[in-house]
Structure 1
Amino acid sequence: MNASPYHSKVRVSLKFADTQFAAGSAVTGKMELECKAEKGLGIGVIMVELYAIEELTSRDHSATSTFLQSRRLFQGPGLPPSNSVHPYPSPGDPPLPASYYHARRGITTFLFQFSLPESSPSSIDFGSGLARLRYEVRASVGVAWKGEKKLVTDKKVVDVVERLEPDFDRVDPEGVIVGENGKIWMQGKVLGGYMVAGQPSCIELMVKNHSAKKVGYRSCAARLNHLIALQNSGLSVTLTRELYLPNIPPTQKQPLQLSDTVTSVSFRGPEYIIVPGAEGVANLVIDVPKNARGVKGGRRIGDEGRVSECLFEVRCMVSVKLSMGIGSKDVRLDLPVNILHPSVAPDYPPYDMYATPAELPVVYDPSPMFYQPPISPAPYLDRPMSPFGSHSLP
């Protein structure tokens, strides 16, 4: 049967209750079927379907997976006629193919609802279409007109946002890195345990400088070069996303090296310089863009409990870089993080991200480089900076 969104006597359209739907909720909307013929037009199957599709379209690595497919039938073989048709032919009506009914002139509305599993991943178009995950609703109506059968269709893509896992523990993602043979120690964590798109987020950073260098800017002998370096360096925070294929063995290189920078913020000035022998704490506040999101990995849960493995995931990473000066490698700390849409962010008490970090207790570690004495905020690092169906006649 020919399929097309256009027909001279029938129009099919989809409308939704919202522009965005959260995992664990339901995609709700309506299909409108309009018939413009007085008589002689037959209507057969009437249905709406929801598909969730993952696609990789690289030249070297292509794959497609449909992990969710749900269907709602409003009319068809074995089902009674809907309100869009006459249940019985009238005298003088032309014969129709089997399972077709004579259409009523006017508009018929069909309401539908598709449940989304709690584990549903976010919609995304990553790398200009190289990695896509989309949810698509398709409406189809079988039409018989003047001896020709045709499937009149309409389809729309809906936006779905993922939730945190049910067993998510609100633990701040944190990490430690050392440089200069253990003389530079840097620890950071993302306050709150996750980031929210369109809202500010805070990274708490603790630095110890036991070297003979000033860090946070690139030192130069000449006064002029010193000022230029101070303006163009310091602490920086970068939020990036990276494509990851889970089916590739850890010992094998990822076939698709795809990443992008969501936002990057520099923190410059004397308050972000750590002199030799000093320790300091800073709250680095960045604004997360509204369109920032990742895609979680793991198993994809479809309808009727069917399970499939994901084709890809998009991981989000916060990187804090500390300039070490000419001749030394900069210290970079990477922190994995989840980015949530505001509509699904848990209702936790907010962090005071502009407050001065509290003094830390003494922590002993067998390794000398991880010995952490009480840290008092240094005057040059204690100030955070933000870059801030019914039928109706026509």
Structure 2
Amino acid sequence: MTINRGLIEEFYNGLDERSREALDAAVEKVVEAKRRGGKVAVVTGSGPNLHEGVTTLIAELISKGVVDGVTTSSAVVNHEMGGALDRVKMCGAAQLGMDEEKMPRGNVFEFTDMSDEELGELSKEMILDRELLAKRHDAEGHMVIKAAANMAYPMGLRTEKLAEEILSLCRQCGLPFETVAGWGCDPRTMLGAGAERGVPVLVTIPQMVGGGHIGLSVGDSIPVAERSRRIADMLGSADVIIESAVALTQEIHDGPFETYTGHGIWSWWQGQRVYSLKNKTLVRFDLDENLRRAQDLQKSSAMIQEAIDKGLPKTKISKIPFRMEMSAFARHEGSLPVIGDIGMIWPVFALRIADALGIELSFMSYKQETEDGKAMREWIVKNVRPLDRDKMLRKFREWKAAR
């Protein structure tokens, strides 16, 4: 994939001055950490991270040794099992004879765009409703690129069924759902790249709800306490933590094993292993200007910390809508808010890091509204493939044989 450096420079110039300065500082922190053998962790949400190609870019950065750990949502796990993005045909459910009481809002039913050859391969692992599939050609509807697998037949149903099988394998080997699923995922997904490189990719506890039975199976694969410990170990070992369009970050800013801004004091008190965000760099890519306003209030008047010290509500004191994670982020000395569209921020961020470290990137994401962004999304649909069940089972057998 050819990198459009001119467009990426336009993205950089499209950010406001303070965001450009923060982005420059974030790049320097990552480059400095990697040059001395340090680690970088990325905390991703779902939604825009998939649609803007960011999760695919993060997979590239894992493969090139830049990213050393990822937290994400069960929804992203679901979509990466389906290949990140796919093309679906959206049809009115009534013309297919569906029970409209059970349909999503708008009475829409979706079909994954698949060839007869692909359906033939899929029929080897699950029973397909051939009568329903035959209707997809004549049904009125329109094609759209969406986050893969979720609501479309048959790939959405396939991931639901795979979830149950993967959960059974997890119970046999004691590994997280994400690890076992990653054995079969495309290496251009975060799960697949993480599995190939031995890099942890874990769903956070607040983000387990989502992705249907994927979320349930993720939650059931290992105990909550073990998941918290694994995430704490990942974040504790990181020098730079990058948060990308994610709403809930309790494991970072309010976690049971973090002592600087979280609740880790009692874990420490009882002799458990803890970590501290002190002296780490926290970078947040976010559209919410209030994040930076909260930091400005803290720097100018220590208002946020004073509210905490007095036990007062931060929202009323600051006069801005206050997300929980804003509190610790605003008070942390090493925090860098980059306010803007992640579709513009990530290409600049990744390319500048790669150039500084002498790394050649094989994939680049772009803001999806641009022509390069549209081409990128088509590339993902075509090239990032769904989970390979046979490969996953082979890796599972190899893992068992090595024990």
Give me the TM-score of the superposition, normalised by structure 2.
0.19
Higher normalized strand content (fraction of residues): 1
Higher normalized helix content (fraction of residues): 2
Question: Highest Rg: 1 or 2?
Answer: 1
Q: Which has the higher contact order (CA 8 A, sep 6+)?
A: 2
Give me the TM-score of the superposition, normalised by structure 1.
0.19
